[in-house]
Chain A
Amino acid sequence: MTPELFPALITGAALFGIGIYGALSQTNLVMLLMGVELILAGAMVNLVAFWHHLHPDTPAGQMFVLIVMTVMAVEMAVGFGVAIARFRAIGSVEMEEAAELKG
């Protein structure tokens, strides 16, 4: 039980939860990406919180956050690339209409 971490960790959890909700519930690819962004954001908050409260002297923690940011950027780039391709191909980025992409 370490109350000092609560504000950050609970925020992270909330963002994660919202992100999950968004990623699952949204029918539009772009909105879905937003959900994913929120999930990653939640993760970042936790990382920084742990770094700050537990291992402030090891920059590896911050390093990790940088990598997560990179992941966010990659995810957006690829996501939008796919979105444009889908939109051009079938004129829709709706999940319901992406059934043929099912494995």
Chain B
Amino acid sequence: MIVGARQGKLSGLRQLVAKAMARELTGFLVPGLDIAHAQGLDVEAAGVRLVASPRHASVLMVAGDISPALRNAAAIIYAQMARPRALLVLGAGGLSPLPSADVTSELSQPGLIDGIAQLRIAFAEGAFRPEVTDFDAPMLHVRVEYTCPMHPEVVQDEPGSCPKCGMTLEPREASANDVDSHPHETHDHHHESHDHQHEVHNHDHGSHSHHHEAHDHDDHESHSHQHEAEDHQAMDHSGMNHGDMDHGSMDHGDHGDHAFMSMIDVTKDLPRSSDGLPMDWIDVPFGPFFPGLPSGLLLTLTLDGDTVAGSSARTLTENVALPHHSALEPLSFVARLSNMEPLAPLAYRFLANQAMENAAGIEITTVTARGRVGALERERITSHLGWLALFGQQMGFGWLLRRAAALQLKFRHANEQAIMALKPDIESLIKRLRRTPLLKSRNAGIGRLVQDNALRGPVARAVGIDNDARSTDPVYTALGFKAISRDSGDSLARLQVRLDELRQSLALIDAAGTIELFEPANIGLATGAGEAFVETPRGAAHLRLTLEKGLVVTAQLETPSTHHLTLTDSLTKQQSLGDALLAVGSLDLSPWEIRQ
């Protein structure tokens, strides 16, 4: 039986329909495709078609543990899905505020396949039920507050008149969970954007508590028309909000039938677009589950038509900072650091190991070092392939998405021989990308960055900065490592750098000749301070920690994405929507390694 079943008896015809639904499951993946691939899940192969809009999805798949913020967002997604809708949970812990899972399974490809098989049965039997329960969650409730059309700063919970001008206050929706407001609004924008705040977590736009609406269409009919305009003129890029509000209030006002209102007054406060026309701007949330963007990243773009006027990016993964005063066992510290980043766990694991070894003053053998190099480079390959898949999805380039994802899954746990066997596939992939038309014109000049020493990893190397932690590492230099570099610094250059690094990593694995994840050296009861740099797939991460009697007491971590996140605003400003998203995507941000 499915919690989100659709109302109705499972009659003969409906049984047929239910069977069809069971065959044609469409899934919305939480937290996202990149995580799924990194965890070795191949959803399409398991027979579920992934869709971009919750409205089109029949199954909400939650893969792994996600933060409360992400769960809230997922709950909004769930509320937008059309019934019958099911919830498939793969190895996740807490779900609230989401409803109880219809099917739970373990977080692995077999687990996924098994779960989907159960789901099909559940659909065939339980897609329709005589009585259905409405899904409800706090963040879906819409609170009505009252504000003065002339003085947006006046906001109160009950109707009344404005203390400043005595106008009748206008009702307005505000969400129960108020999210922090954006820094960048102009004054008109500010209160207008508040209308949008309650959509800010929302992948697909604008339907809080749609399920209140959707299941009683008649009630909906009745007030759809009086509402009809409300959002349109917030939505379209010129609805002059003040305009009708002023007038509306004048209707309420004592003086009579027709008062002339000046359009000049209406438009004079509006922000000016780059082409000089006063236009109203809207905030549109992209993420945290937006296809083609790193999952867990909430990018809010202020759109002026199809052009991005401003943006704000933050992560909803809610990874907390490392402990400062609570001492940790070495092993649990390592585990904690590597679990934090599902996209590159090994890199952080090695980071922790090296830092502790340095602190304890332990020398590791070349064999160990080479084994780690092999593993790290393999992870780099999988990570870059994962990025390529995301990149392909973002460009609507289906072939790249599927090909890169398939290769990524092959590489995940491959040993040296298997990796060498996969070499030709990588080569052909790269060759194919070089030959693809439109790819160059799509990426050349997009998201151009200037030299900036805070840049890390491929992003930095695409600008021509060589701050690759590997170039100073004797183990790597012994393997004949030489940092790759491009200079144009745009999305195309970042693509090329990553492609070159695929080759390079293959060569390094070949040179290292071994892939082994040695357990961290036993640091005994050592005491001391140490630090380490590891070149994660996204750039050099830096860890400084101090040990006391074999316990990790303090640790500071610097991750590449933390700085790259601050680049988004400059990269997206005054770009067209597609270019802006591509630019953000080409940074290969990992929201998981960013702390708040």
Cross-chain contact of B264 among A84, A88, A92 (Cβ < 8 A) = A92
- Cβ of A96 to closest chain B Cβ, rounded Å: 6
A92 touches B263 (CB 8 A): yes
B262 touches A97 (CB 8 A): yes
Q: Does A6 belong to the interface (CB within 8 Å)?
A: no
| Residues of chain B lying within 8 A (CB to CB) of residue A87 | 267, 277-278
Chain B residue nearest to A92 (CB atoms) is B263
Give complex CA distance A91, B240 in Å.
11
Q: Which of B233-289 contact A (CB under 8 A)?
A: 260, 262-264, 266-268, 270, 276-278
| Residues of chain B lying within 8 A (CB to CB) of residue A96 | 260, 262
**Contact pattern, A 61-103, Cβ under 8 Å of B = 1, otherwise 0:** 0000000000000000000000010011011111011000000
Q: Which of B265-319 contact A (CB under 8 A)?
A: 266-268, 270, 276-278
Give complex CA distance A46, B270 in Å.
45
A residues engaging B (CB < 8 A)?
Answer: 84, 87-88, 90-94, 96-97
| Residues of chain B lying within 8 A (CB to CB) of residue A93 | 263
A-B contact pairs, 13 of them (CB 8 A): A88-B276, A88-B277, A91-B263, A91-B266, A91-B267, A91-B270, A91-B278, A92-B262, A92-B263, A92-B264, A92-B267, A94-B262, A97-B263
- Cβ of B204 to closest chain A Cβ, rounded Å: 32
Chain B residue nearest to A97 (CB atoms) is B264
Chain A residue nearest to B275 (CB atoms) is A88
| Residues of chain A lying within 8 A (CB to CB) of residue B268 | 91
- The verdict on A84 contacting B262 (CB below 8 Å), with A91-B267, A91-B268, A92-B267 known, is no
Q: A91-B264, A91-B267, A94-B262 are in contact. List 4 more A-B contacts (CB 8 A).
A: A84-B277, A87-B277, A88-B276, A93-B263
Chain A residue nearest to B262 (CB atoms) is A97
| Residues of chain A lying within 8 A (CB to CB) of residue B277 | 84, 87-88
Give complex CA distance A94, B261 in Å.
10
| Residues of chain A lying within 8 A (CB to CB) of residue B276 | 88
Give complex CA distance A88, B277 in Å.
5
- Cβ of B239 to closest chain A Cβ, rounded Å: 15
B residues engaging A (CB < 8 A)?
Answer: 260, 262-264, 266-268, 270, 276-278
- What 10 A-B pairs have minimum CB-CB distances, sorted nearest first? A91-B267, A92-B263, A94-B263, A92-B264, A91-B278, A88-B276, A91-B264, A88-B277, A91-B268, A97-B264
Give complex CA distance A93, B260 in Å.
14
Chain A residue nearest to B270 (CB atoms) is A91
| Residues of chain B lying within 8 A (CB to CB) of residue A84 | 277
Say whether chain B's binding surface is mostly helix, strand, loop, or mixed: mixed
| Residues of chain A lying within 8 A (CB to CB) of residue B278 | 87, 91
- Cβ of A56 to closest chain B Cβ, rounded Å: 46
- Cβ of B188 to closest chain A Cβ, rounded Å: 13
- Cβ of B1 to closest chain A Cβ, rounded Å: 55
Give complex CA distance A21, B376 in Å.
76
Chain A residue nearest to B273 (CB atoms) is A88
- Cβ of A72 to closest chain B Cβ, rounded Å: 25
Chain B residue nearest to A84 (CB atoms) is B277
Give complex CA distance A94, B264 in Å.
9
| Residues of chain A lying within 8 A (CB to CB) of residue B260 | 96
| Residues of chain A lying within 8 A (CB to CB) of residue B266 | 91-92
Give complex CA distance A87, B240 in Å.
13
Give complex CA distance A88, B238 in Å.
13
- Cβ of A28 to closest chain B Cβ, rounded Å: 8
- Cβ of A100 to closest chain B Cβ, rounded Å: 12
- Cβ of A94 to closest chain B Cβ, rounded Å: 4
Chain B residue nearest to A91 (CB atoms) is B267
Give complex CA distance A65, B469 in Å.
75
Chain B residue nearest to A87 (CB atoms) is B277
| Residues of chain B lying within 8 A (CB to CB) of residue A97 | 262-264
Give complex CA distance A68, B202 in Å.
50
- The CB with the most chain B CB atoms within 10 A, among A90, A91, A92, A97, is that of A91
- Cβ of B407 to closest chain A Cβ, rounded Å: 51
- Cβ of B523 to closest chain A Cβ, rounded Å: 69
Give complex CA distance A34, B133 in Å.
50
Give complex CA distance A91, B268 in Å.
7
| Residues of chain A lying within 8 A (CB to CB) of residue B262 | 92, 94, 96-97
Give complex CA distance A43, B260 in Å.
33
Chain B residue nearest to A96 (CB atoms) is B260
- Cβ of B276 to closest chain A Cβ, rounded Å: 5
Give complex CA distance A87, B267 in Å.
9
- Cβ of A38 to closest chain B Cβ, rounded Å: 23
| Residues of chain A lying within 8 A (CB to CB) of residue B270 | 91
Give complex CA distance A37, B264 in Å.
26
Give complex CA distance A84, B266 in Å.
16
- Cβ of A70 to closest chain B Cβ, rounded Å: 28
Chain A residue nearest to B260 (CB atoms) is A96
- Cβ of B263 to closest chain A Cβ, rounded Å: 4
- Cβ of A5 to closest chain B Cβ, rounded Å: 40
Give complex CA distance A97, B262 in Å.
8
Give complex CA distance A97, B264 in Å.
8
Give complex CA distance A29, B278 in Å.
17
Chain A residue nearest to B279 (CB atoms) is A87
| Residues of chain B lying within 8 A (CB to CB) of residue A92 | 262-264, 266-267
Give complex CA distance A93, B263 in Å.
8
- Cβ of B211 to closest chain A Cβ, rounded Å: 38
Give complex CA distance A41, B7 in Å.
51
Give complex CA distance A54, B276 in Å.
53
| Residues of chain A lying within 8 A (CB to CB) of residue B264 | 90-92, 94, 97
- Cβ of A64 to closest chain B Cβ, rounded Å: 38
- Cβ of B259 to closest chain A Cβ, rounded Å: 12
| Residues of chain B lying within 8 A (CB to CB) of residue A88 | 276-277
| Residues of chain A lying within 8 A (CB to CB) of residue B263 | 91-94, 97
- Cβ of B247 to closest chain A Cβ, rounded Å: 13
Give complex CA distance A91, B270 in Å.
9
Chain B residue nearest to A90 (CB atoms) is B264
Give complex CA distance A96, B260 in Å.
9
- Cβ of B238 to closest chain A Cβ, rounded Å: 9
Give complex CA distance A92, B277 in Å.
10
Chain A residue nearest to B263 (CB atoms) is A92
Give complex CA distance A84, B278 in Å.
11
Give complex CA distance A88, B270 in Å.
12
Chain A residue nearest to B278 (CB atoms) is A91
- Cβ of A66 to closest chain B Cβ, rounded Å: 34
Give complex CA distance A88, B266 in Å.
14
